[in-house]
């Protein structure tokens, strides 16, 4: 990712953080609307799941400029997801739900540039998770 994309992801995520509980709830609601078959994968308390999601996004966003520090953790997360029943094709749906959530939460601050930057960030992280799942 280009430095300006990383900065844009960080700036926009900083605007989401104050509403992180609501954003996580919107994300999962939209994800399950897009693909109801994913709901059984989430057996935990959804508020706790949402907090974990936002913490992982925060971790990833903070490390985008030094990917070597975050990639092992992201790869291990992908490996763990296999045990939860996650399939490679689910990553596309999750990415779409994430971008939709950001658009809802950011409104006019979710510019085309922000959408592209987040799309690139998600593609990078999803590819590392998928690689992790294949090396399990």
| Cβ atoms of 58 and 14 closer than 8 Å | no
| Cβ atoms of 53 and 46 closer than 8 Å | no
pLDDT tens digits for range 33-81: 999 999 999 888 999 999 999 999 999 999 999 988 998 999 898 888 8
Q: What is the pTM of this model?
A: 0.92
| Cβ atoms of 86 and 133 closer than 8 Å | yes
Domains belonging to the chain, first-starting first, are 3-134 (1.10.490.10)
Q: What integer best gives the mean pLDDT of the chain?
A: 93
Give the per-residue pLDDT at 136: 56
Virtual CA dihedral for 45, 46, 50, 53, nearest 10 degrees?
Answer: 70
CA distance 129 to 135: 10
């Amino acid at each position: 990712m280009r430095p300006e994309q990383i900065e844009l992801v960080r700036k926009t995520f900083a605007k989401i953080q104050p509403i992180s509980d609501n954003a996580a709830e919107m994300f999962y609601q939209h994800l399950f609307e897009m693909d109801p078959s994913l709901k059984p994968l989430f057996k935990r308390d959804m508020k706790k799941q949402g907090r974990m999601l936002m913490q992982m996004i925060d971790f990833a966003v903070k490390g985008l400029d030094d990917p070597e520090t975050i990639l092992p953790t992201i790869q291990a997360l992908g490996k763990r997801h296999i045990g939860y029943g996650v399939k490679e094709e689910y990553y596309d749906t999750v990415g779409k739900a994430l971008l939709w959530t950001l658009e809802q939460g950011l409104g006019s601050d979710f510019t085309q540039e922000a959408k592209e930057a987040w799309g690139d960030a998600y593609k990078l992280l999803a590819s590392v998770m998928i690689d992790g799942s294949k090396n399990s």
